[in-house]
Amino acid sequence: MKIVVVGAGPGGYVAAIKAALLGAEVTVIEKYKPGGTCLNWGCIPTKSLLAASERIDMVKEAEDFGVEIGSDIKVDFNKIMDRKNKIVTNLVKGIEHLFAQKKITVVKGHGKILSSTEVLVTDEDNNTQTIPADKIIIATGSAPIVPPMFPYDKTKVITSDEAMNLTEIPKSMIIVGGGVIGCEFGQFYRKLGTEITIVEMADHLLPFEDDDVAKQLARSFKKDKIKVMTSDSITKVEVNDNGVTAELGSGKSLTAELMIVSVGRRPYLDNLGVEELGLASERGKLIVDENMMTNVDGIYAIGDVINSPMLAHVASKEGLVAVDHAVGKKSSVNYDAVPRCVYTDPEVAAVGKTERELTEKGIAYHVGSFEFRGLGKAQAIGKLQGSVKVLTDDNDVIVGASVVGPHATDLLTELTLAVHLKLTAAQVGDVIHPHPTLSEALMEALHDVHGQCVHKV
């Protein structure tokens, strides 16, 4: 069987390798580099940058632990960026090595689907070739949304793509959008000394999370002297020699050296052949069934181009499901147990339903919570801010959870497993958690669902 994957991001490259493991003859079409937005401009490079700003905090806090380093901290921005680029390069090479090892053919260029059995590839020199296929998987990802009102010049008004490759630390920056991207970039550049103002239309940061979760991050931002303007919007933007001036709906005015527009992303379906093929879509996203199949037999779609959470790990899972169906196997995606992660300080991680969702749907629920400051391990490492919250239904089944605090994105896995397997708070809370660890906060929150938390004040 010949499977052609259009796009080599976290959905496409995982699908390609899976298909090869199952014995298919695989061709990947990619116009840039393997890894997509996640590896080249998103998940991995941002975490590399945030790791640098974390080291700055560690140095500043060293004296509290009895380690005297000195107050003169120098930041080599070029070295930070070089390290980030090296990590990305190494990981890209790793994917290329996997492709070669699995005998996956890579064709560089833009892919346009002609039919359910043919894909036309055009390279940068405008040369074309047609790739035959038995099954096709669309995994072309997404691109930043830049509304027309923003004079996007990639120099002073930029997106996350350009923010990832700045050559100098800006003195000041306006960030439009207080979601994951805005919060991560805002905190990183603030740690390096940039004056940051975040403008968010919703009434709190991270609009898709509960208010109490977002408030904990907002407290940290206030401590970092990041200015956050919620329930407000940008109405006019002007670029001048000194930078950017923005007028707000509230009547206020902001000026800064740079503006990052981070208001969301759109499916990248440009010149893919969607209209000619008659692929069904809704609000710009392709419609697929539970097997990731579009309305055209033999053509699948995964990741940011379909109506599912725009997250790398979701795309990867969808890629596995699409390949399984293509070769006659059966698997599925459990969208009720999708982890959501923000790599700020403190980290924010959540899975399943939020309190707001449960309330809006009229579903009865119970809450258990515990603050990290109640843990010996948190006290020992000096990371006291944050908490764990667990939500259960009337049958004690865990339907949602959030973790705000040190290593929250790693700790969430246990609760994600619980939501995925529909385990109860009693079942997971009965598990012995090692002491002293941060994971004890999960156990304490689970016990608190039943009012049995020993260490809660």
Is 179 known to sit in a ligand binding site?
yes
> Any known ligand binding at 11?
no
Give CA angle at 178 (174, 181), nearest 5°. 90
Q: Is 360 one of the annotated binding-site residues?
A: no
331 is in an annotated binding site: no
Beta bridge partners of 397: 424
Residue burial 138-148, b: 16+ Cβ < 10 Å; e: rest: bbbbbbbebee
Annotated ligand binding at 183? The verdict is yes
Torsions phi, psi of 397, nearest 5?
Answer: -75, 135
CA distances from 315 to 42, 107, 179, 302, 427 (A): 14, 21, 20, 6, 30
CA–CA dist 305, 301 (Å, integer): 7
Does the annotation list 200 as a binding residue?
yes
- Classify the phi-psi angles of 286: left when phi > 0, otherwise alpha if psi is within -120 to 50, otherwise beta: beta
Is 264 known to sit in a ligand binding site? yes
Buried b (16+ CB within 10 A) or exposed e, 14-35: bbbbbbbebebbbbbbbbebbb
Q: Which two tokens stand for residue 242?
A: 């000194």
Cis peptide bond upstream of 436, omega within 30:
yes
| DSSP β-bridge partners for residue 129 | 121
How far is residue 186's CA from residue 251's CA, in Å, rounded to a whole number? 23
- Residue 313 assigned as binding residue: yes
CA atoms of 409 and 344, how far apart (whole Å):
10
- Asked whether residue 310 is marked as a ligand-binding residue, the answer is yes
> Binding site annotation covers 47?
yes
**The two three-digit tokens of residue 43, written as one number:** 């998940």
Task: Provide the 8-state DSSP code for 309.
Answer: -
b/e per residue 79-96 (b: at least 16 CB within 10 A): ebbeebeebbeebbeebb
350 near 403, Cβ under 8 Å? yes
181 is in an annotated binding site: yes
The residues that are catalytic are: 435
Does 451 appear as a known binding residue?
Answer: no
The answer to the question of whether 369 is labelled as a binding residue is: no
Q: Is 142 known as a binding-site position? A: yes
- Amino acid identity of residue 247, one-letter, is E
What is the arrangement of strands in the sheet containing 243-248, beginning at the earlier edge strand? 234-240, 243-248, 253-256
260 closest CA partner among 369, 144, 376: 144
Q: Is residue 178 annotated as involved in ligand binding?
A: yes
Instruction: State how far the Cα of 94 lies from the Cα of 131, in Å rounded to an integer.
Output: 25
The answer to whether 16 is a known ligand-binding residue is no
Determine how β-strand 387-392 pairs with β-strand 281-282. unpaired
Query: Does residue 180 have a known ligand-binding role?
Result: yes
Say if residue 109 carries a ligand binding annotation.
Answer: no
- Enumerate the known binding-site residues: 47, 111, 140-142, 177-184, 200, 264, 304, 310-313
- Enumerate the known binding-site residues for FAD: 47, 111, 140-142, 304, 310-313
- Enumerate the known binding-site residues for NAD(+): 177-184, 200, 264
